[in-house]
Amino acid sequence: MQPTAAVILKSGRDRSVRQRHPRLFASAIKQIDGRPRDGDVVDVLDNKGEWLARGIINQQAQIAIRLLTWRSEEAIDESFWHARVQAAIARRQRDPALRCTNAIRWVFSESDGLPGLIADDYAGHLALEISSLLAWRALPVLKAALTQALSPLRIICQMDEERLRHEFGGTVPRAVREALETPPSDALVEIRECEARFLVRPASGQKTGFYLDQRANRIRVAAYCQGATVLNAFSYTGGFGVHALRGGASRVLNVDSSAEALRLAEQNCALNVGAEGRDRYACTEADVFALLRALHQQGERFDVVILDPPKFAHHPDQVNRAARAYKDLNRIALGLINSGGILATFSCSGVVDASLFQKIIFSAALEAGRETRIVERLTQASDHPVLLTFPESEYLKGFICRVE
Ligand code: SAH
């Protein structure tokens, strides 16, 4: 596709483009020379007419231009998309951390120069999540590139409805919805994460079916679980719990509010420890906040407590409220830990950074009256890389703490 227009930026608004930030907001635009349609390729120029970058315009969205290249000779054509997909895959094929698994995020949106596309592989079943107009428009060629590189058994698409609504000025068009709405599927796929095995329903449930971003952290936390009693709060389909069982936990309690996720958690525990391990785990459907309080009152204590809650803050203006929720949750959890035990605590809210999260845990520990030491700092798995020019791609942080 040839650029159909030149977008001139307001004076002083070229900085983020020069720093290669992939998102350009409508407020930075002074004028548009040409009449581009949404989804067209456009060139971006500074106030004095100097060429800066090339991207795809969407005037219905707040992110008016998604920048794709800072090299003027690079065209956004079919071979461009193929090259981007191939590069993303090649990066991960060289990644030693991914050798023990067949469940891999091959494409992580802006971090791989493909804004709005996520491609998660579950043992050959490829789940694509689309969250931008540009990924929707490029979908046929993106699918062709992924097929050529990975020969998947099948490709299943889903949409990030909230993000897509913003891309289409409020409502997702019917044609898009129909193409991306995942047909309900009962088909379970078995994946492996080092020694552990999991059943996943691709493009169904949460994320694209499984929390691949916690892969390395599940293995780190399991190392503390030998002989331990473990409370796995916000368990989803049992991720941390399964690794804890394999790591020798004497007992694991998985807690989640989703009955569907817990049914899979049961199956996943059974798959890994068999019938003889049946009395080593339990799955309870409950609100974590309420259950933790009840367990505390009953005098229950655990050697290891894992907290992996959903995103509490989606926007910067929700940070204060989220901080209070994280603090309350961690304070209650700290009260449940045996002296010398472990708290593994996470936040996947991008707007709560690691230093703020540390302050929150500090306050929680102070209020709980527990002397607490961070012994490990954790982040998202390496197939969710943080592109330095797009710091927003960093979102998951966690601490393993020793609690006295
Ligand atoms: N640790 C999991 C991922 C957790 S995602 C893994 O490794 O796979 C967060 C989970 O919290 C979701 O499964 C969601 O159903 C659950 N959840 C959200 N709010 C909850 C609440 N108030 N009480 C219990 N579970 C909750």
Token pair of 96, please? 């030693």
Q: Return the beta strands (E) in 98-140 as ranges.
A: 103-108, 117-122, 125-130
pLDDT tens-place string over residues 252-264: 999 999 999 999 9
| Distance from residue 266's CA to the centre of ligand 1 (Å) | 15
- Taking the centre of ligand 1 as the mean of its atom positions, its distance from the CA of residue 310, in whole angstroms, is 6
What pLDDT, on a 0 to 100 scale, did the predictor assign at position 205? 86
Q: For residue 75, what are the β-bridge partners? A: none
Rounded to whole angstroms, how far apart are CA atoms 116 and 132?
Answer: 5
Q: What whole-number distance in Å separates Cα of residue 233 and Cα of residue 225?
A: 15
> What integer pLDDT is reported at residue 386 of this predicted model?
98
Ligand 1 pocket test, pick from 257, 293, 306, 311 with the greatest ligand atom count within 8 Å of Cβ, gives 257
Q: Is the pTM of this model over 0.75?
A: yes
Instruction: Give CA–CA dist 228/242, Å, rounded.
Output: 13
Q: Up-side HSE of residue 69: CA atoms within 13 Å toward CB? A: 16
Q: Tell me if 98 sits within 8 A of 382, measured CB to CB.
A: yes
Query: Is the predicted pLDDT of residue 185 greater than 80, yes or no?
Result: no
Who lines ligand 1 at CB under 6 A? 206, 211, 214, 234-237, 239-240, 256-258, 261, 287-289, 308-310
Q: What angle do CA 234, 237, 238 make, to 5 degrees?
A: 70
Residue 72: alpha-carbon gap to chain centroid: 32
pLDDT at position 183: 73
Side-by-side strand order, sheet with 154-159: 103-108, 117-122, 125-130, 154-159
- CA 226 to each of CA 1, 268, 277, 300, 352: distance values in angstroms, whole numbers, following the listed order: 57, 19, 15, 19, 31
pLDDT greater than 90 at residue 184:
no
Residue nearest to atom 20 of ligand 1 (CA): 257
Residue 191, token pair as written in the block: 């994946």
Helix (H, G, I), strand (E, B) or coil at 214: helix
Distance CA 260, CA 217 (A): 23
Q: Which residue has the higher pLDDT, 181 or 22?
A: 22
Q: In the structure, what pLDDT confidence band is assigned to residue 181 with cuts at 50, 70 and 90?
A: confident
What angle is formed at CA 63 by the lines to CA 61 and CA 65, rounded to 5 degrees? 105
- The rounded radius of gyration (Å) of the Cα atoms in the chain is 23
Q: How many whole angstroms from 234 Cα to the centroid of ligand 1?
A: 3
Which residues are registered as beta bridge partners of 376?
A: 400
Q: How far, in Å, from the CA of 145 to the mean position of ligand 1?
A: 34
Q: Is the dihedral of CA 115, 161, 382, 329 positive or negative?
A: positive
- Partners of 5 in the beta sheet? 42
Note if 348 is an active site residue. Answer: yes
For 45-96, the pLDDT digits (tens) are 999 999 999 999 999 999 999 999 999 999 999 999 999 999 999 999 999 9
Question: Do 392 and 115 form a contact (C-beta atoms < 8 A)?
Answer: no
Of all protein residues, the one whose alpha carbon is nearest to atom 22 of ligand 1 is: 287
**3-class SS of residue 51:** strand
Q: How far is CA 25 from the centre of its chain?
A: 23
262-301: per-residue pLDDT in tens?
A: 999 999 999 999 989 999 999 999 999 999 999 999 999 9
pLDDT at 3: 87
pLDDT tens-digit readout, 90-129: 999 999 999 999 999 999 999 999 999 999 999 999 999 9
Q: What are phi and psi of 266, to 5 degrees?
A: -55, -50
How much distance in Å is there from the Cα of 264 to the middle of ligand 1? Answer: 13
What pLDDT score does 360 carry?
A: 98
The atom of ligand 1 lying closest to the CA of 309 is 9
47/215 Cα distance (integer angstroms): 45
Rounded to whole angstroms, how far apart are CA atoms 57 and 74?
A: 17
What is the per-residue pLDDT across 355-383, written as a single tens digit (0 to 9) for each?
Answer: 999 999 999 999 999 999 999 999 999 99
Whole-number average pLDDT of the chain: 97
Q: What is the pLDDT of residue 270?
A: 98
The pLDDT of residue 186 is: 74
pLDDT at position 204, please? 87
Mean pLDDT of the 180-202 span = 90
Q: How many CA atoms lie within 13 A of 59 on its CB side?
A: 12
Q: Which residues contact 62 (CB under 8 A, 6 or more apart)?
A: 25, 26, 166
Domains of the chain: 5-69 (2.30.130.10), 78-180 (3.30.750.80), 211-403 (3.40.50.150)
pLDDT-derived band at 1 (thresholds 50, 70, 90) equals confident
Annotated catalytic residue within 225, 269, 348, 401: 348
Q: Write the pLDDT tens digit of every residue in 3-27.
A: 889 999 999 999 999 999 999 999 9
Q: What is the pLDDT, as a whole number, of residue 130?
A: 97
pLDDT at 54: 98
Q: Bridge partners of 335?
A: none
**Nearest CA among 208, 186, 216 for reference residue 126:** 208
Residues 195-246 have pLDDT tens digits of 999 999 998 889 999 999 999 999 999 999 999 999 999 999 999 999 999 9
Locus of tokens 């796929």: 189
